[in-house]
Structure 1
Amino acid sequence: MESAKHAGDAAVAVSKAYGVETMFTLSGGHVFPLYDGAQHEGMRILDVRHEQSAVFAAEATARLTRKPGLAVLTAGPGITNGVSGVATAHFNGSPVVVMGGRAPQSRWGSGALQEMDHPPLLTPITKLAFTSSGADSVGQDVEMAFRTAVAPHRGPVFLDFHMDHLFSPSPMHEPQTQSPSPLEPDPDSLRAIARLLAEAERPVLVYGSDVWMDRAEEAARDFAEAWRLPVIPNGQGRGILPAGHELLVTRARGQAFAQADLVIVMGTPLDFRLGYGWFGGKDGAPLAKVVHIADAPSHLATHMSPVASAAGDLSVVLWSLGDACGEAGVKPSRYADWLSTLADHAAAAVAGDAALLAADTDPIHPMRIYGELGKLLADDAVVIGDGGDFVSYAGKYVEPRRPGNWLDPGPYGCLGTGLGYAIAARLARPSSQVVLLLGDGAAGFSLMDVDTLVRHRLPVVMICGNNGIWGLEKHPMQLLYGYDVAAELQPQCRYDQVVTALGGGGELVTKPSEIGPALRRAFDSGIPYLVNIATDPQIAYPRNTTGV
């Protein structure tokens, strides 16, 4: 068997075999052999300014490319700094491998620099967290990490290496990267779901991120169109039906969930974003029947009992469910009145928003920003949300035209994902617009990584909705207590000047008429550019407590 100069070569060679093209990292001596291996194997190294951005970039790479992402973190604080990124990947089901440095085995227990047993810290938020047993096993251990990360239900894996093992010679390892056979759903479960559709009068179909991650977006669109089912997307399910599609009823979401008699949720958890799986019940009507479909049995809801459920490769599920619907006598015409009702609600919502999307108010209404941005977005634009109130508007008013082009932190709700996501998006989609939507609170978590964009020549348009407060906290505190604390930020803080100081471009916008021209300058600049827009702090995004 061919022997590598050191274990770093073996680790990187296996990573490349699993499709990894970029190693995201922040430099640390414990992992130097991994960098040397990247040099030998021709893998790109992209170094960031905070380890959380390295993990967020690896996670976004996995979500955009549907190949595993790789982050390499040095020992101790390098790994603890990346924990929020790992947790986000865990909740998003993102196949990420995080490799960590570790104090030398020969000095273990004697107080070496940054000596810490990392796996127990990472175990609750990974599919697997372990330490490589030695230089001879590095290749096999890395293969196990990647194989585990990409298996349904996908998720992050943590693997660390003792420093002395990583510097030692290691045999090269030839991984077995062929994909396993897709998980077949239970036919009886699909027949039960088809019967529910045959009986339903007001069904709703929810497509979540795992539909995209399972490469089932075409099957999902075909299924919805064949059976004329209204669709509400969630997460990276956005864009499976493009903006303007007649079956897309996002703008009638409240009415759809309140009046439905059957809700089929595919590829996303029944969490707070979907009212924990409780739908219907409006005006004395019974609760809707709920069907949950996931890519693996481990991801089916356990906090409630859906009337039916199924697990398997989501393309196979959709194809097979279509056959079952034909056998069950499902008639698309049965839903025509329901679809027309939802379309009317959606059209009314769009008409009602027109004035605010063009509002000429002073201070600026956040919706005006989205009115101007919508005029400039290309069909293949990648839009990234990192924030609270400001990004909530994006979830409502930015409707992707293609699947896989929307990124937000997901159900973990971790602020600070934005710069790491933007780095990854620019690499993954080099010819597309990349737009990062930042709340001013979120900007404080990761704006220093604009330096990374500048150093690596990664142009990104950043738009900061700057209302000078923690909006998700200030307004609720005032409602609860009549006052607020710890909810103020500096009004019109010059985040744009931070970007300029780091080598990018930017400007402050305070008038509605300035928004469109400033955005056009940002798109035309060819550099990392932040449009810092002062918005009205009195305006809160309207929301309820259930997530519906």
Structure 2
Amino acid sequence: MDGGQIVAAALKAQGVTFLYTLVGGHISPILVAAQQRGIRVVDVRHEATAVFAADATARLTGIPGVAAVTAGPGVTNTLTALKNAQMAQSPVVLLGGAAPTALRGRGALQDMDQMALLRSVVKWSAAARRVRDLAPMLHTAFEQAQSGVPGPVFVECPIDLLYAEPVVRNLYGAQRGGRSLGARLLQAYLRWHVNRLFAGVPANPVQAPRPIAPALPSAERVAAAAAALQKAQRPVILIGSQALRTPNQAADLAGALTAIGAPVYLSGMARGLLGRDHALHLRHKRREALKEADLVLLAGVPCDFRLDYGNQISRRARFISVNRSRDELARNRRPEIGIQADPGVFLRQLAAHKFDGERWTPWLAQIQARDRERNAEIAVQAETPTASINPLHLCREINAALGPESIIVADGGDFVATASYIVQPPGPLTWLDPGPFGTLGVGAGFALAAKLCRPAAEVWLLYGDGAAGFSLMEFDTLVRHQAPVIAVIGNDGGWTQIAREQVEMLHSDVATVLAQSDYHRVVEGLGAVGLRLDDPELAAETLAQARQVAATRPVLVNALLGKTDFRKGSISM
């Protein structure tokens, strides 16, 4: 096998089914060999999209997502997406092309120090220098991406390791003649260099992957947490994305939370874990509940800006934190009981202890009443007339249109944050947002991966009109790869989440104003179907039409929104 075939064989052995890429000469052997081995090669229009799609694939399948990009600008274009995966703790493997090994530092095409550039945004990185390095390096990359705190990794694959040996010898001119002493010495060096590149490759270079076991909590720590919970009168459990790192165990995790019986708030990838109507699942007024609770259990959630750096938790409450990361376990707020372990495993073990959920009934009823009150407020606000369409009304119509197998992809600021209060994921692993890095531009890559990984699911991509500008061109990708998603742009003609505070605090809307452009016409030019929505009375009808179209083709609803003060004062620092 040449190097490209070795890489493809290693990916196949790891269970990889999709390879996301933007083609480049440095990586062509990998793409061709992957296709020959039955891995679906999905080519996109920007390298960041390839990494975003790999990120979403990892979240939905539990197998590291893989992207391959060409050298130089191909690698640099992935930086934001890699950092997003790092912050979201997604196991992603990035394969990057590189200049020929003998020409590094001599002005070769797209040659640069890629390792130094990526070191701060990946968990682990390595550069192959011989063909025999490729398989063991990839084996290690997959282990590193999944072990401990998951994250992105980078493997640099120079072009001369990927092509067949005769091609590489010709590339270096190692077989060319020459009479001068200098020419003969150069020929001898190049022959030695090529011989070294291809030496020592075993007949069967690819190893079988080893299962990655999650960090297990000690029985003593689980028992201590159980004892504290059994004594609590007003407990709150907050679940984060880490608890869903093993997707096929989501149903067991939901069952464990039901058995425990304490009120639950869900965040990140955990949204939808308990379905839409579970009695223990609370959605609103989380800050108030955390302040009133006498015990707070964070399962895979750090005390970062989303919890006001731990200040949302009452200082009088007993505080338990479970996290894969030692750093996140005690960041900003040290727990009384800290457990460095997989939160999903911990919760399943915790459920083995007996709890009397009925003693928490008055507390649960109190916060359920607040949920109902907030839902009633939102319903009233949704009926308030605005120019064009009230965004709350549109979100309620989207929520009503969702089927039981729908997946929601969130890519935006103000409109998407509004939707997060109203649009309810129907089940586990049906909500995809960027995570704590707050990255705009994830939408098309996430939606593409969701549709490929779950072809039967109805994928809804909720775009802000600002965020849509990062990846609207990927509708070309969705059309070519027959990934019929439903996109809805909340088009209010601005960067509204920023404008809310900037205008009030600095008295200027500079750089926050956009045109309410005809985005539906853009996607029509790329082969998709575009629908314009500017009448609230037609919202349900237009969304129904979009669902019909999405049976076969990608569709975008360009929904013209009016302004509301629903999220006034929502700035985050």
TM-score (norm 2): 0.90
Q: CA deviation at 1:85?
A: 0.9
* Larger Rg belongs to: 2
Matched-pair contact (CA < 8 Å) for 1:416–1:445: yes
Distance change (3 Å), C-alpha of 1:115 and 1:65? same
Deviations 1:21-60 (A, max 9, x none): 1110001000011012113212111111111111101111
Matched-pair contact (CA < 8 Å) for 2:19–2:40: yes
Matched-pair contact (CA < 8 Å) for 2:287–2:312: no
User: How far apart, CA to CA, are the structure 2 residues paired with 1:516 and 1:40?
Assistant: 45
Question: For 1:363-402, what aligned pairs fall within 5 Å after superposition?
Answer: 363-402=388-427
Cross-structure match for 1:413:
438
**Structure 1: which amino acid aligns with 2:273?**
I
The reply to whether residue 306 of structure 1 matches residue 335 of structure 2 is yes
Question: For 1:50-199, what aligned pairs fall within 5 Å after superposition?
Answer: 50-168=46-164, 171=202, 172-199=204-231
SS in 2 for 1:334: helix
Which deviates more from structure 2 when the two are superposed, residues 423-432 or residues 257-266?
257-266
User: How far apart, CA to CA, are the structure 2 residues paired with 1:180 and 1:236?
Assistant: 21
Q: CA deviation at 1:315?
A: 4.1
User: How far apart, CA to CA, are the structure 2 residues paired with 1:176 and 1:298?
Assistant: 32
Cross-structure match for 1:494:
518
Cross-structure match for 2:503:
478
Matched-pair contact (CA < 8 Å) for 1:471–1:540: no
Which deviates more from structure 2 when the two are superposed, residues 330-339 or residues 159-168?
330-339
**Identical counterparts, % of pairs:** 36
Cross-structure match for 1:11:
7
Cross-structure match for 1:274:
307
User: How far apart, CA to CA, are the structure 2 residues paired with 1:429 and 1:59?
Assistant: 15
Cross-structure match for 2:539:
515
Cross-structure match for 2:557:
531
User: How far apart, CA to CA, are the structure 2 residues paired with 1:379 and 1:337?
Assistant: 31
**Structure 1: which amino acid aligns with 2:132?**
D
Matched-pair contact (CA < 8 Å) for 2:268–2:435: yes
Distance change (3 Å), C-alpha of 1:386 and 1:379? same
Distance change (3 Å), C-alpha of 1:319 and 1:469? closer
User: How far apart, CA to CA, are the structure 1 residues paired with 2:212 and 2:458?
Assistant: 35
Cross-structure match for 1:227:
260
User: How far apart, CA to CA, are the structure 2 residues paired with 1:181 and 1:354?
Assistant: 46
Matched-pair contact (CA < 8 Å) for 2:242–2:344: no
**Structure 2: which amino acid aligns with 1:47?**
D
SS in 1 for 2:437: coil
Distance change (3 Å), C-alpha of 1:513 and 1:27? same
Matched-pair contact (CA < 8 Å) for 1:260–1:279: no
SS in 2 for 1:114: coil
**Structure 2: which amino acid aligns with 1:410?**
G
Matched-pair contact (CA < 8 Å) for 1:275–1:546: no
**Structure 2: which amino acid aligns with 1:498?**
V
User: How far apart, CA to CA, are the structure 2 residues paired with 1:509 and 1:190?
Assistant: 52
**Structure 2: which amino acid aligns with 1:249?**
L
Deviations 1:165-187 (A, max 9, x none): 22245544232313144422122
User: How far apart, CA to CA, are the structure 2 residues paired with 1:439 and 1:236?
Assistant: 20
User: How far apart, CA to CA, are the structure 1 residues paired with 2:145 and 2:73?
Assistant: 23
The reply to whether residue 354 of structure 1 matches residue 379 of structure 2 is yes
User: How far apart, CA to CA, are the structure 1 residues paired with 2:446 and 2:238?
Assistant: 25
Matched-pair contact (CA < 8 Å) for 2:283–2:371: yes
Matched-pair contact (CA < 8 Å) for 1:386–1:409: yes
Deviations 1:75-124 (A, max 9, x none): 00001111111111101111110000001111111110100111111111
User: How far apart, CA to CA, are the structure 2 residues paired with 1:369 and 1:358?
Assistant: 10
Q: Which runs of 5+ in 1 are unaligned?
A: none
Cross-structure match for 1:254:
287
Distance change (3 Å), C-alpha of 1:384 and 1:543? farther
Distance change (3 Å), C-alpha of 1:12 and 1:34? same
Deviations 1:460-496 (A, max 9, x none): 1100000101112111111212222111111x21111
**Structure 2: which amino acid aligns with 1:392?**
A
Over the residues paired in the alignment, what is the CA RMSD in angstroms? 1.8
Cross-structure match for 2:466:
441
Cross-structure match for 2:194:
none
SS in 2 for 1:25: strand
Matched-pair contact (CA < 8 Å) for 1:95–1:149: yes
Q: CA deviation at 1:538?
A: 4.9
User: How far apart, CA to CA, are the structure 1 residues paired with 2:568 and 2:293?
Assistant: 22
Q: CA deviation at 1:362?
A: 3.1
Matched-pair contact (CA < 8 Å) for 1:219–1:315: no
SS in 1 for 2:49: helix
Matched-pair contact (CA < 8 Å) for 1:55–1:71: yes
How many positions carry a matched residue from both structures?
534
Matched-pair contact (CA < 8 Å) for 2:310–2:332: no
The reply to whether residue 20 of structure 1 matches residue 34 of structure 2 is no
Q: CA deviation at 1:540?
A: 5.2
User: How far apart, CA to CA, are the structure 2 residues paired with 1:545 and 1:373?
Assistant: 25
User: How far apart, CA to CA, are the structure 2 residues paired with 1:360 and 1:128?
Assistant: 52
User: How far apart, CA to CA, are the structure 2 residues paired with 1:336 and 1:186?
Assistant: 30
Q: CA deviation at 1:214?
A: 2.9
Distance change (3 Å), C-alpha of 1:406 and 1:42? same
TM-score (norm 1): 0.93
Cross-structure match for 2:274:
241
User: How far apart, CA to CA, are the structure 2 residues paired with 1:182 and 1:408?
Assistant: 24
**Structure 2: which amino acid aligns with 1:305?**
R
Matched-pair contact (CA < 8 Å) for 1:507–1:531: yes
